[in-house]
Amino acid sequence: MRILGVDPGLNATGYGVIDADAGTLRVVTAGVVRPPARHALGQRLRMLYDVLAGVIAAEQPALTILEAIYTHHEYLTTATLMGHARGVVCLASAQHGLPIVEYFPTHVKKAVTGHGGASKDQVARMVGTWLQTDTSTLAADTTDALALAVAHAQLNRDALPEAGGRRAPRRRTARKLQEITVG
């Protein structure tokens, strides 16, 4: 199954596409979209849409995974701005017929690391372990997007083709992942 994970934000939106088959996880592509802050809101959202629609068209994922919206009352403006980016992700997914699945951050952390209170660094390291790749040079938005995709694969591993509920094998050498930055 091909899974698209997206960590939406107006300043930076991370995305990652993975293949989850036969008990293994593999990165297909990953990157971050950084629309220039000097552009008008509509232009920034259009750039985000164009990149994500292009990724969806090129990679043909089966579904999109998003982090469920949550916010503290002190950060309502941030949540509103993130909501614009989330809407673009939902639109691009819907226009390509992709179902959208949402997970709360604690569920993602627990699925990836085994601990719902894991730090961003712990999550990034475990994403690298699951995907057998070096994530040390990737932007946090990219590793967060990959974590969403990995979490979905882990939470649904019994439903994946030939997965049999097994954990991904670990290799001693990590693959190099080319991050694509747009913007």
* CATH numeric code, 2-182: 3.30.420.10
Confidence of residue 57 (pLDDT cuts 50, 70, 90): very high
Q: Which residues contact 115 (CB under 8 A, 6 or more apart)?
A: 109, 122
pLDDT digits (tens, 9 = 90+) for 13-39: 999 999 998 778 999 999 999 999 999
pLDDT value of position 166: 39
Structure tokens at 22: 């036969």
* DSSP alpha helix (H) spans, the chain: 41-59, 76-95, 105-113, 120-131, 140-155
pLDDT higher than threshold 90 for residue 86? yes
Domain ranges of the chain: 2-182
Most confident stretch, 29-38, 151-160, 170-179: 29-38
* Residue 77, pLDDT score: 75
Can you give the pTM of this predicted structure?
Answer: 0.85
Cα separation, 152 vs 150, in Å, equals 5
| Residue-wise pLDDT tens digits, 88-127 | 999 999 999 999 999 999 999 999 999 888 989 999 999 9
pLDDT for the residue 164: 42
Catalytic residues: 7, 67, 141
